[in-house]
């Protein structure tokens, strides 16, 4: 089993250059299927989730070439419309390919994405929206058989929940539909705006991304383009937590602070000194972190659920108790048992977790339960007295590029085994 070994309580000091946002690259790679030409995507992180998306593109007939952090996708000759189970299971968020494949091929056959470590991942909002756009969907035998021979037709869609994935699927299906589509109660995440920017650079007409009302005027076709992905705000939050728990100082380069306001304000309330200068965000940690009474995760622009796990590790060594209320995913607290093995004092009840700050965590042998839970274990290990071994790091490799190398460069004692 491969893993990380960490000797904790080393102050982190230095600079980190953030990689491109995983949750932006994935829908953008789906969007390259709608472009009947070449899309050059810069600032593409080297992550296993991105590799899984590339496999899907190649399976459908696109040619993909990676040079460092630039992916060139030639989707001129895409014939396929089926994503096999093995590829769908490799990455749950492959559902975001559904809208793009239907837009390009007038149909799609995907196996229903299973749940994931965060709990059941329903796709009812995706399905009902695509049906509103004129797609007939047969969901039998764990397969989504989608057909739309008369082509997609623009319509008004109201989401009962501002689902990120559903918003992305609707945009991707609607960009070349006949007529106009309006999404009410759309997700407002920066990754939605980044997807819209990419599509508009290829000739689409998507207005209002970043607000809760998005209007997509269907165009005939999308043409070759080039796009640079926004920085990863959850990677940013993770490194800020890592520096904060070690009493260190860190500067994130190429960081959009406006994507992180709830995280930055929480860290300030915990006693950190935060300075923003253009795309540099600097954090100076206090000697001891202070509690924050309540952290409530919400859809953007609220506190991001993905930052909740590393932030929980941070508050497990703060002075006093903090309460987390998780409003997005059922199983976000799966990592709590592993944190408690390290001496954290976290009790959960449904979607509420109370974190009673302790003076020190102690090194232990722990295992990742999910991507951001793994990030929480790394933050906790950096704070802990002694040695921590972290197993099942394949979860971490899904969303963090060069984590060990970056932390070592900051002064952490961390090795891969």
Catalytic position from the list 116, 255, 272, 368? 116
The CA distance from 327 to 11, in Å, is: 33
Q: Which of 161, 275, 296, 416 binds ligand EPZ (CB under 6 A)?
A: 161
Stretch that binds ligand EPZ, among 66-74, 159-167, 238-246, 361-369 (CB under 6 A): 159-167
Handedness of CA 374, 375, 381, 384 (dihedral sign): negative
**Is residue 272 annotated as a catalytic residue, yes or no?**
no
DSSP string, 175-195: TTSBSEEEEES----HHHHHH
Question: What's the farthest any 2 CA atoms get from each other in the chain?
Answer: 64
Shortest Å distance, C-beta 328 to ligand EPZ: 5
Which residue number, 186 or 344, has a Cβ lying nearer to ligand EPZ?
Answer: 186
Which residue number, 135 or 384, has a Cβ lying nearer to ligand EPZ?
Answer: 135
Q: Which of 371, 380, 384, 407 binds ligand EPZ (CB under 6 A)?
A: 371
Q: Which of 8, 20, 154, 165 binds ligand EPZ (CB under 6 A)?
A: 165
**261 Cα distance to chain centroid:** 17
The CA distance from 333 to 312, in Å, is: 9
The CA dihedral of 35, 39, 43, 47, to the nearest 10 degrees, is 70
Which residue number, 31 or 247, has a Cβ lying nearer to ligand EPZ?
Answer: 31
Q: Which of 84, 114, 122, 179 binds ligand EPZ (CB under 6 A)?
A: 122
66 is written with which tokens? 């990676």
* Residues touching ligand EPZ, count (CB under 6 A): 24
Stretch that binds ligand EPZ, among 2-10, 130-138, 161-169, 348-356 (CB under 6 A): 161-169
Shortest Å distance, C-beta 132 to ligand EPZ: 13
The CA distance from 347 to 355, in Å, is: 7
How many CB atoms lie under 10 A from the CB of residue 173? 32
Cα-based distances in Å from 180 to 27, 192, 218: 21, 18, 6
Tell whether residue 241 is a contact of ligand EPZ (CB under 6 A).
no
Which residue number, 20 or 248, has a Cβ lying nearer to ligand EPZ?
Answer: 20
Binding site for ligand EPZ (CB under 6 A): 22-23, 26, 93, 121-126, 161, 163-166, 187, 189, 305-306, 328-329, 371-372, 399
Catalytic residues: 116
């Amino acid at each position: 089993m491969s893993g990380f070994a960490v000797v904790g309580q080393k102050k982190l000091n230095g600079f980190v250059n953030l990689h491109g946002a995983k949750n932006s690259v994935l829908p953008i790679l789906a969007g390259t299927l709608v472009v009947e030409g070449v899309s050059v995507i810069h600032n593409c992180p080297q992550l296993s989730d991105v590799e899984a998306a590339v496999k899907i593109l190649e399976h459908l007939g696109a040619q993909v070439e990676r040079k460092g952090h630039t992916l060139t996708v030639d989707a001129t000759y895409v014939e396929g419309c089926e994503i096999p189970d093995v590829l769908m299971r490799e990455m749950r968020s492959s559902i975001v390919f559904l809208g793009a494949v239907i837009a390009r091929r007038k149909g799609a056959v995907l196996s229903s994405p299973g749940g994931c470590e965060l709990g059941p991942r329903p796709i009812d909002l995706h399905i009902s929206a695509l049906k509103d756009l004129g797609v007939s969907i047969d969901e039998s035998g764990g397969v989504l058989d989608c057909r739309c021979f008369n082509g997609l037709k623009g319509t008004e869609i109201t989401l009962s929940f501002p689902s990120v994935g559903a918003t992305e699927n609707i945009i991707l299906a609607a960009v070349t539909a006949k007529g106009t589509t309006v999404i009410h109660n759309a997700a407002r995440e920066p990754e939605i705006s980044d997807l819209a920017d990419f599509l508009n650079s290829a000739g689409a007409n998507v207005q209002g991304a970043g607000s809760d009302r998005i209007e997509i005027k269907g165009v005939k076709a999308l043409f070759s383009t080039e796009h640079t992905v926004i920085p990863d705000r959850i990677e940013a939050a993770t490194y800020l937590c890592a520096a904060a728990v070690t009493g260190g100082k860190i500067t994130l380069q190429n960081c959009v602070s406006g994507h992180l306001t709830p995280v930055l304000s929480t860290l300030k309330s915990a006693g950190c000194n935060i300075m923003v200068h253009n795309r540099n965000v600097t954090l100076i940690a206090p000697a001891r972190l202070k509690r924050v009474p309540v952290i409530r995760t919400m859809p953007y622009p609220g506190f991001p659920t993905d930052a909740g796990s590393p932030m929980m590790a941070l508050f497990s060594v703060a002075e006093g108790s903090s309460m987390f209320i998780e409003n997005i995913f059922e199983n976000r607290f799966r990592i709590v048992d592993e944190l408690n093995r390290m001496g954290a004092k976290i009790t959960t009840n449904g979607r509420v977790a109370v974190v009673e700050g302790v003076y020190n965590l102690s090194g232990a042998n722990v295992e990742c339960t999910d991507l951001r839970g793994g990030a929480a274990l790394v933050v906790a290990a950096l704070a802990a007295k002694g040695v921590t071994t972290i197993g099942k790091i394949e979860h971490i490799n899904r969303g963090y590029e060069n984590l060990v190398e970056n932390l070592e460069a900051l002064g952490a004692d961390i090795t891969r085994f």
